[in-house]
Amino acid sequence: MRDFESAVELRQAIKRATASGVDQATVYEASHQLTPLEAAERSHKAQVQAASEALHKALAEDNEEALHNAVPGAMEIRQYIAAELFDTAERRMNEFASARELAKAKALLEKAMESAEGAEGAEPLRTAFQRAEAAGLQGLQLRRAKAKLDELTALEESAAREAEALAWMKKAEAEKKEAAERRRFEEEDKERDKEARRAKKSAEKEAKRRSEEQDGGGDFLAKAAAAQAWDTHEAPDGRKYYHNTVTGETTWEMPAEVKEAELKRETGTGAASSGSKANDEIDTLTSKKLKTFLRERDVDVPDDAADDELRHMAHASAHRPLVTWVRNKTADGRVYFFNRKTKETSWTRPDE
């Protein structure tokens, strides 16, 4: 309970106590306590009076600023002010505020109408329109703004659809590029796999060729030996014929091996290229094959010769013709001769 409200209660209590003959000292004490409460009561009445007068004056002058000062000041004590007075003042203050908001909203709407262009102008005009509508604006200006807003909203929606379509197209293009890139990588992987298989096949083929050359003494060496096996003779009538000293075959037709050897000599590819090829194939021979290669060319092979020495000797004697009787040694070191054509052996070298 507020002080000024307590004063009324205490005053009534003192009256009842005096009338009933309560001890004067008690009444005096209560009267002493009443003094400050009555002061508060007077102050409250003065405050209510001042607030009421301020409200009356603001209403009489129809002054917006005065009402905005008086109404909030009277708000805390409105229950002690005449209800009709306070309600009238509050309603008029709100009317001023509404009118001010309406004027501001109207001005903003007008400004938004002037600058609203294209899809990007839809949102500012929409905000201004909603504010003007909430402020209570009506009439031609609001209808014009609504028509303009509908127009810009249509553009806004169209732009949104266009942007959505563009985003979809970009996404589709990106996915297409990604798929193309993925296919390219797959094709490159396939090509690398093919290349690896080709390289492997080529390596296997080359290894097989080298192995066959080593086992057979070398393709070139075999062809050279085959060509050297044919001797050229002249018949009494002057015609040439060919005799194979290895197989004993005789023919009037030039053998293919002899043709190939003569063609290389005529085109200039015989000595240099053949020598180079022979050297390449010598490098692939084993130690045993190198010794056979040298003995077939009547080269003395030291028993303790290393592979590098044997290979060097083979390169140096690659141009030498093959001999028919090949020198060999028995297990006890004795020298004998082996005819590689007839398979005969002899302790002495027969005439070639």
Q: According to the model, what pLDDT value does residue 4 have?
A: 56
Mean pLDDT rounded to a whole number for the chain: 82
Domain range annotation of the chain: 3-134, 217-284, 285-352
- Bridge partners, 335 (sequence order): 329
Residue 57 confidence (pLDDT): 94
User: Tokens in use for 261?
Assistant: 């050897």
Decide: 329 and 336 in contact? Cβ < 8 Å.
yes
pTM exceeding 0.85 = no
Of 1-15, 91-105, 107-121, 168-182, least confident by mean pLDDT is 1-15
Instruction: Please report the pLDDT score of residue 256 as a whole number.
Output: 84
What pLDDT is attached to residue 272? 42
Looking at per-residue pLDDT, the higher value among 210 and 16 belongs to 16
282-297: pLDDT as tens digits: 888 888 888 888 888 8
| Beta strand spans in the chain (E) | 230-234, 240-244, 250-251, 325-329, 335-339, 345-346
According to DSSP, the β-strands at 325-329 and 345-346 are unpaired
Confidence at 238, pLDDT banded by 50, 70, 90: confident
Q: What is the pLDDT of residue 268?
A: 46
**pLDDT at site 318:** 80
High-pLDDT (> 70) share of the chain, %: 87
- Which distant-in-sequence residues (6+ apart) come within 8 Å of 294 by Cβ? 301, 310, 313, 314, 317
pLDDT at 75 over 80: yes
How far, rounded to the nearest angstrom, does the alpha carbon of residue 187 sit from its chain's CA centroid?
Answer: 20
Q: Is 73 exposed, middle or buried (0-12, 13-18, 19+ CB in 10 A)?
A: middle
pLDDT reported for residue 72: 92
Is domain 285-352 in CATH 2.20.70.10, yes or no? yes
Given this model, what pLDDT does residue 270 score? 46
pLDDT class of 93 with cuts at 50, 70, 90: very high
| Closest alpha carbon to 65 in 92, 42, 84, 85 | 92
CB 280 within 8 A of CB 272: no
Residue 331 has pLDDT above 60, yes or no: yes
Buried b (16+ CB within 10 A) or exposed e, 262-274: eebeeeeeeeeeb
Average pLDDT of the residues in 141-165: 91
pLDDT of residue 344: 81
State pLDDT tens for residues 301-315: 887 888 888 888 888
Whole-number pLDDT of residue 313 = 85
- Alpha-carbon distance of 280 to 195, in angstroms, equals 26
| Alpha-carbon span 47 to 80, nearest angstrom | 10
What would the two tokens of residue 131 be?
């504010």
Q: Quick one: CA dihedral 256, 262, 267, 269, positive or negative?
A: positive
Q: What are phi and psi of 240, to 5 degrees?
A: -85, 145
One-letter amino acid at 268 equals G
Mean pLDDT of 223-230: 70
